Amino acid sequence: MKIYSIAFQSLRRRKTKTIFLIIGLFLSVTSVVTLITESENINRSVAINLDEFGANIIITPKSDQLMINYGGLSLGEVSFNNSQLSDNDLQKINTIKNRKNLSIIAPKLFETVNLKGKNVLIAGVRFSDELKLKKWWVIKGKSPLPPNNILVGSNTAEALRIKLNDTVSINEQRLVVSGILSNPGSQDDGLIFMDIFTAQTLFRKLSKLSLIEIAALCYDCPIEDIVSQTSSVLPTANVTPIKQNIESKMMAVHSFERFSLGISLVMLVTSFLIVFANVNSSITERTKEIGIFKSVGYRNSHILQIILTEVIAASLTAGLLGFFAGISASKLVLPFLSMHGLSSFTYNFTTLPIAVLLSLFVGITACIYPAIKASRLDPTVAFRFI
């Protein structure tokens, strides 16, 4: 009789032990696959959501004349008369290798004007990008519609006694206040925002920019790579990563990974002990059977092969079943763990060979000692049980 036939007949004959062995490995693989899949999906969800809340890279020109502090970051002195950033630089940024990691590119043009006897900082922006970049904005009224609408910070509106739907004249052009920005403690409350093309036209700075804010997705690409690539295409600009913002994002992204790793290790150790105990007790129960095999000419290597074949068959079954069960469990659990309770579910089929190999590794390593112990069993000792 062939060795694999003996192994499979033994599995069928000892159904309770076989099922217990498979369940031990199955639960471990299912847990690991679930945690891996959950970790990937949650990290992607957290990264995307965090990356969309504010810029983590700011680009400014190297030549400087006027000091500007924006968004809590000192931007240095920005030139208004010498070399500046331009709209062409936006096209250059779009050529970098990791362009897909740039979620939002928000150019800005700053200019100071005198309104009602007070100096006010005007920010020309692309409202479509700015509203995506600053989702925390609270606007009383409606979002500005280019080119003749403006958005006024609450501090500026209070200081200049500007109200919603008022008309403001800037460089002899009449602009309508479509919204009042209310963000207590935000520097944006002290600015007036208008369409960037309108600002470039009003201040005779066509295609000129003061700075560029970028929200980079740093989930699957180091921020240093993006900074390096951007610097290479913009040699006359300073490309500055906001390290504190990035570090807090990556800390949140990797926190669940560490938790998943810890739980996975606990489950693997538990599964290892279950398999070890199962196979070891099985060897003790099969002392008589092993003695008969040896008495009819089976060698130590044959006994070892029989036991390993049984464990490998159980491990393969547990690995396959555990993979599909883990994917299904992840799909059910994900909505309760992801941000806002919703997230697109994705899974990677490369997890399948990982699940199978993991099951085989745990099963084989756990049964090596009992299998060797069985193969070295003295037939004369086994005959005492006959």
Mean pLDDT of 184-207: 89
Cβ neighbours around 69 below 10 Å, total: 10
Backbone angles phi, psi at 178, to 5 degrees: -90, -20
pLDDT (tens digit, 9 = 90+) per residue, 122-177? 999 999 999 888 888 889 998 887 788 999 999 999 999 999 999 999 988 999 99
Query: Which residues, at least 6 apart from 340, have a Cβ–Cβ distance to it below 8 Å?
Result: 49
Backbone angles phi, psi at 125, to 5 degrees: -135, 165
Confidence of residue 24 (pLDDT cuts 50, 70, 90): confident
Average confidence score pLDDT of the chain: 81
pLDDT for the residue 296? 75
Task: Tell me the CA distances in angstroms from 91 to 16, 85, 87, 229, 241, one per residue in order.
Answer: 67, 12, 7, 14, 20
- Least confident window among 291-305, 314-328, 359-373: 291-305
pLDDT (tens digit, 9 = 90+) per residue, 235-244? 989 998 875 5
Confidence of residue 106 (pLDDT cuts 50, 70, 90): very high
**Token pair in block for residue 186:** 């935000």
Residue ranges of the alpha helices (H) in the chain? 3-13, 15-51, 87-93, 127-133, 154-160, 196-202, 223-233, 243-285, 287-295, 300-337, 351-375, 379-382
Across the strands, what pairs with 169? 174
Task: Tell me the CA distances in angstroms from 288 to 291, 294, 379, 385, 386, one per residue in order.
Answer: 5, 10, 9, 6, 6
Residue 120 has pLDDT above 90, yes or no: yes
Looking at residue 310, its amino acid is: E
Contact status, residue 56 vs residue 245, Cβ threshold 8 Å: yes
Given the structure tokens 């069993």, which residue do they identify?
377
Higher pLDDT: 143 or 120? It is 120
- Least confident window among 28-32, 76-80, 90-94: 76-80
Residue 293 has pLDDT above 90, yes or no: no
How big is the CA angle at 203 (ends 202 and 208), to the nearest 5 degrees?
Answer: 115
Task: Tell me the CA distances in angstroms from 376 to 191, 285, 298, 302, 372, one per residue in order.
Answer: 84, 15, 12, 11, 6
Confidence of residue 218 (pLDDT cuts 50, 70, 90): low
In sequence order, what DSSP letters do the residues of 42-72 get, joined into one string? HHHHHHHHHHTSS-SEEEEESS--EEEEETT
